[in-house]
Amino acid sequence: MTQNHPYQRYYIKVKPALKSKREEFRMLGLHAVTEEDIWSYLTDKTWKRPQETVRIHEIVADILALSSSQFMTFQMIAAYKAPSLFEPLSSEELKDLLRD
């Protein structure tokens, strides 16, 4: 979870909206999604440029407006950017793994 984001102070207050969105995603078959995943999406994607005078209802509106397709597209792009588990290791990486 993004700890340094300016909207972090609202996390506890908007937790019911995050829980509602998580339940909506579960009804759509996205059982592995957590409230923290949703919050991370919003802080990384939707709220890249936070407003100084944001109101809590605007944050809740952003949470409730998030669609499952937006979220899954973001997750798929993040997975493509992550290092591959099947990519061959360099000799330095192998040495690090086998070192005591």
Report which DSSP code applies to 100.
Answer: -
pLDDT for residue 67: 97
Measured between alpha carbons, how far is 23 from 39 in angstroms, rounded to an integer?
A: 14
Percent of the chain with pLDDT over 90: 70
With contact defined as beta carbons under 8 Å apart, do 22 and 38 qualify? Answer: yes
Measured between alpha carbons, how far is 77 from 87 in angstroms, rounded to an integer?
A: 18
Is the alpha carbon torsion for 39, 41, 46, 51 positive or negative? positive
List per-residue pLDDT tens for the chain, 100 residues long. 556 899 999 999 999 999 999 999 999 999 999 999 999 999 999 999 999 999 999 999 999 999 999 999 999 888 888 776 667 777 887 777 777 5
**Residue-wise pLDDT tens digits, 47-73:** 999 999 999 999 999 999 999 999 999
